Amino acid sequence: MGIGLGQQHYANFIGGLDTPERTQDEVLSRLIARGRDTAFGREHGFDRIDSLAEFRRRVPLRNYEELRPYVDRIVAGEADVLFPGEVFRFISSSGSTAGKAKVLPLPRVYFAETFNPFYLTYMEGAVRAHPGLAASRDRTVNFKWDPLRDTSVLSSGAPHVGLSQVNLANEFDSQALLEPGTQGPWATVPADIPADLDRLYFRLRMAAGHDIRQFIGINPAILAAIPQLLDNNAERLFADLAAGRFGGRAVAAPDPALAERLSARRAARGRLLPADVWPNVERLLCWDEGIAGIYLHQVVADYGADVVVLPAPLAASEVPLAMHLLADGLRGVMAYNAAFFEFLDVQNGAAQTPLRLEQLREGASYAVVATQAGGFCRYVLGDLLEVTGRAGNVPTVAYAGRITQSASVPESALLRFMRRYNDEHGLRLRNFTFVPAAQGVLDLLVACNDADGIDIGEHTLRQAYAADAAMAGTSLGEVRQVPPAYFTQQWCDRVAAGLRPPQVKDRIVSPPR
């Protein structure tokens, strides 16, 4: 029997850690050669690019709005604009902090060369480190997987789908690409359930009574909201279980005994938690960086005392960013073979030459610029990464927020400040966000795990903020401590208003009120 796909990709990735510069050069050369006969390539003289310096001279940095005219041409039906050949899927991004999804036309080669190897490499390392992940793949509730959710349609009539709606296992004839949690009566939500909160509740209702071992959210804000969503629907759940129904239709055998047990647990505790419904949960799979790195251990306790977090890899909708090689004890290894990367030093606001992968320094935060197989060249993602170390010659990174024009200091600095203050004062933060109030002023909303028992110490917090050199560009305005459920209720309200759950993310800096 030959070596499996995941094993081969994992071995290849590990084997290239000492020579990332060579791999990066090869990736850039391949992408330039492939783009020469595209409209973008002709406009930017790809046939005359023979060095990185020339590539940078001919192709300016662009954000999504600056690339949108090319995307619009593809949506209108024009071929060979950003990449040669047909569009495989028009992918909907998981959304920015504004919650507005982008249209991402992606070719089949993007998945074959970039996304699929990234996914298979991660899963190989995850299964080696957590064998229960594979053993419990059919005892998994995967909130990311939602193939039958109603999709938007572009002006051309083409469907605009989320990545969670694409069955890559079928498209590439590889069961290795089939995600955990795609089996079981809770896995596929009927298409005629339109509201996303009801679709989430359907999964919870159908999974109740089953031996669930894993929950997959990717976006940790989903997993943080589930305990409140479960408790908000507790009486509905008890009635549905007792009658064997959902929305007035029969979906399972009636189980009044389970309904009675769960009702008793809720009465005893005062609220219904996932740990009450599924006492054998072993792990949550989600991002565990950014704000989640501060609050996630509070959320994990709602799922069970022995539950662990399996960190999801770091990726934007447009490009994979960093890989967790869990079997080798490595976190956040930049995906040096997924795209050609450049980096902007957010500590240096002046005009600067972007840095290459091997030029990054530990402890600094950078904005990511990617040139990828979907034809997005020198694309400024908006994500900030903090360099934490090295694996071979490849930087290891952690998510540090987004580029925001509404605050005078980087989100990475605000995140570091809150993480440090939380740790020093044992606040057990449930979530927080900064809100621009005026020029150079940020208000702070913060929730602790128990608002009645924990005081954030506003005077001490203000002193720490004023003493932090990284905050020199802004001052702290109003500080408001809100109840523990405040942020999860905000999440539910935004989903109820029409945003897809993956789009509703934690926000270090929220839009001005």
The three-class DSSP label of residue 357 is helix
Give the integer Cα–Cα distance in Å for 510 and 502: 17
pLDDT score recorded for residue 2: 44
Q: Mean pLDDT across the chain, nearest whole number?
A: 92
Judge contact between 438 and 477, C-beta under 8 A.
Answer: yes
Give the integer Cα–Cα distance in Å for 114 and 168: 13
Which pLDDT tens digits describe the chain residue by residue (513 residues)? 346 889 999 999 999 999 999 999 999 999 999 999 999 999 999 999 999 999 999 999 999 999 999 999 999 999 999 999 999 999 988 654 444 678 999 999 999 999 999 999 999 999 999 999 988 889 999 999 888 888 788 988 888 988 888 899 999 999 999 999 998 999 999 999 999 999 999 999 999 999 999 999 999 999 999 999 999 999 999 999 999 999 999 999 999 999 999 999 999 999 999 999 999 999 999 999 999 999 999 999 999 999 999 999 999 989 999 999 999 999 999 999 999 999 999 776 555 789 999 999 999 999 999 999 999 999 999 899 999 999 999 999 999 988 876 667 889 899 999 999 999 999 999 999 999 998 889 999 999 987 567 889 999 999 999 999 999 888 999 999 999 899 999 999 999 998 889 889 999 999 887
Predicted TM-score (pTM) of this structure: 0.93
Judge contact between 46 and 36, C-beta under 8 A.
Answer: yes
Judge contact between 218 and 312, C-beta under 8 A.
Answer: yes
Buried-exposed string 64-92: b where 16+ CB fall within 10 A, e elsewhere: beebeebbebbbeeeebbbbbeebbbbbb
The domains of the chain, with CATH numbers, are: 5-112+313-402 (3.40.50.12780), 411-503 (3.30.460)
The three-class DSSP label of residue 154 is coil
In the beta sheet, which residues pair with residue 245?
A: 250
For 361-371, the pLDDT digits (tens) are 999 999 999 99
Give the integer Cα–Cα distance in Å for 163 and 331: 24
What's the distance, CA 70 to chain centroid? 26
What's the distance, CA 78 to chain centroid? 31
Largest CA distance in the chain: 73
Neighbours of 448 (CB within 10 A): 24
Percent of the chain past pLDDT 90, that is, above it, reads 80
Give the integer Cα–Cα distance in Å for 62 and 71: 13
Give the integer Cα–Cα distance in Å for 193 and 190: 6
Judge contact between 168 and 116, C-beta under 8 A.
Answer: yes
As given in the structure block, the two tokens for residue 356 are: 């290459």
For 16-55, the pLDDT digits (tens) are 999 999 999 999 999 999 999 999 999 999 999 999 999 9
